Amino acid sequence: MTRIIAGDHGGRRIAVPAKGTRPTTDRVREAVFSRLASEDRLRGAVVLDAFAGSGALGIEALSRGAASSTFVESAAWAAAVIRDNLNDLGLAPSATLVRQKVLPWLRRTEASFTLALLDPPYDLPLAELDATLAALAPRLDPGAVVVLEWSSRSEEPSWTDDVAPAAVKRYGETTVYFAVAHGGPAFTPDSLDA
């Protein structure tokens, strides 16, 4: 079990898949979402939770005022956990659950987002992560924020010309990258130690 940090459902616990996922720690989620809240990037956001696992990131965003969240997860057991978590919290009306691999889905979808949260498996090949970021770029609204959790032991991902890196913060084995799509308000890299 993991808990929602803040917002309408703050303190509530959600289930996590028994296998095959690496849930974001409370410390990292709290830091990421404090930064997003301080930049006013959550209220009314249209969120993508890619490689969703338990759905903790998208659920946290919904709890803090996001308008909607699309959860993309290919594993059947993880998608079932997300569905149950959304139903248990009454968040299903604000959510879309997509049971597909992230990269092909991004290449086909017409959806667009103001906030993209990516927490891929650490063993995902870097070339596939880079392809995923390239496929994501056209799906971002101007000024959309991308938050990527990636292994601190791995090489830094490649960003497209349409998405500018804004900040990097390391938390032990996890590195969090913040980036912003061109054409909107800047993202301040200061004070990431929330």
- pLDDT confidence of residue 32: 93
- pLDDT confidence of residue 111: 97
- Band the pLDDT of 19: cuts 50, 70, 90: low
Report residue 170 CA to chain centroid gap. Answer: 16
Average pLDDT over residues 88-95: 95
Q: Give the tokens for residue 48.
A: 């993508």
Q: Any idea where the domains of the chain sit in the sequence?
A: 2-181
Query: Which range among 15-19, 101-105, 116-120 shows the weakest confidence by mean pLDDT?
Result: 15-19
146 sits in which H/E element: strand 140-151
- CATH number belonging to domain 2-181: 3.40.50.150
Residue 194 has pLDDT above 50, yes or no: no
Helices (H) and strands (E) in the chain, counts: 5, 9
- Band the pLDDT of 144: cuts 50, 70, 90: very high
Distance between CA atoms of 8 and 22, rounded to whole angstroms?
Answer: 25
Distance between CA atoms of 100 and 48, rounded to whole angstroms?
Answer: 13
Q: Please tell me the total number of residues recorded for the chain in this structure.
A: 194
Q: Where are the alpha helices (DSSP H) in the chain?
A: 26-38, 56-63, 76-89, 102-108, 126-136
